[in-house]
Structure 1
Amino acid sequence: MHSNSLQRSSFCNAHVDPAAHPKRCLFISVSLITAAHIIEAAIYASAFWVAVHQIDIGSLQLAQDPTENLYPMDYFYFALVNLTTLGRGDLQPSGHFRFLTGISAFHGFLLITASGGYLLQVMSGKNPFRK
């Protein structure tokens, strides 16, 4: 595991050097962080769907019409809104499913905060992967 960590660090050191290429590094960093957060939302959307339809720990409903069926994109939208802690309220969880959504909001807050700290380092010309 230690050698894998070194390889990943070497890859990042080779591609993220804000002192040499500040605009390119910022573009790469923002692009990769955005992709990572979209993947996280997709993972949470899948977990939400499984929690509602397979495990049956609660439900997710439209606030305006609780009888309307939800589609996979609705779960993805809910995961994005929840991970960003926006909390629009147009989709409402119920039952024990609320606990899972609370955990995802906390997790999203931590990840977005860490991403912001990383981007601040890149914008200030520092390479976050170098000691």
Structure 2
Amino acid sequence: MALAVAVVLIHYETLRLTSLSLARLHMSPRQRILVVIGAAFFAHLVEVTLYAASYLALAEVLGAGQISGLPLAGFYDYFYYSMTTYTTLGIGDFAPMEGLRLLTAMESLVGLMMITWSASFTYLAMEKFWKLH
């Protein structure tokens, strides 16, 4: 649960700082939209990385569970698993076991919320800046 709160706070602060910065940036509307999308993308990557590090720590360090289908279980593998979970893509080549099942479910829920939040934020920014074209 603490990880979900951390992710929400990261997302909130990223979007808040982006919103505050947009007014001060001397850029075209198109460039401002790119800043919005870039900031949201950056936030998502940070959040996925936090989840990947958590999976790695829980599975490899604490032995609290494992992910079936994960061959060598390096950070890249956990990052890939986290990315497919966060986006709710869920390709199905990996499956959480034991203590990682709840974290996986939480990441899917939080990821869906953060993605829709980013989409809403981008829509509002486009609505504001589109008129300036």
- Rounded Cα–Cα distance in structure 2 between residues aligned with 1:59 and 1:107: 21
User: Which structure shows the bigger proportion of residues in helix conformation?
Assistant: 2
Please tell me whether residue 84 in structure 1 is matched to residue 91 in structure 2.
no
- Identity among equivalent pairs (%): 24
CA RMSD after TM alignment = 2.2
For residues 54 and 80 of structure 2, what CA distance do their matches in structure 1 show? 13
Question: In structure 1, which of residues 27, 30, 45 is the aligned counterpart of residue 34 of structure 2?
Answer: 27
What TM-score does the superposition give when structure 2 sets the normalisation length?
A: 0.76
- Corresponding residue pairs, total: 114
Gaps (5+ residues) in structure 2? Answer: 1-12
Check conservation: 1:61, 1:70, Cα contact below 8 A: no
Larger of the two Rg values belongs to structure:
1
Task: Please give the TM-score of this superposition, normalised by the length of structure 1.
Answer: 0.77
Write the distance in 1 (CA, Å) between the matches of 2:79 and 2:49: 6
Cα 1:36–1:72, aligned 2, differ >3 Å: closer, same or farther?
Answer: same
5+ residue gaps, structure 1: 127-131
In 2, distance between residues paired with 1:36 and 1:85? 17
Shift in Å, 1:84: 0.5
Q: Which of 13, 23, 34 lines up with 1:13 in the alignment?
A: 23
Which has the larger displacement, 28-37 or 52-61?
Answer: 52-61
CA contact (8 A) 2:58 2:64 kept: yes
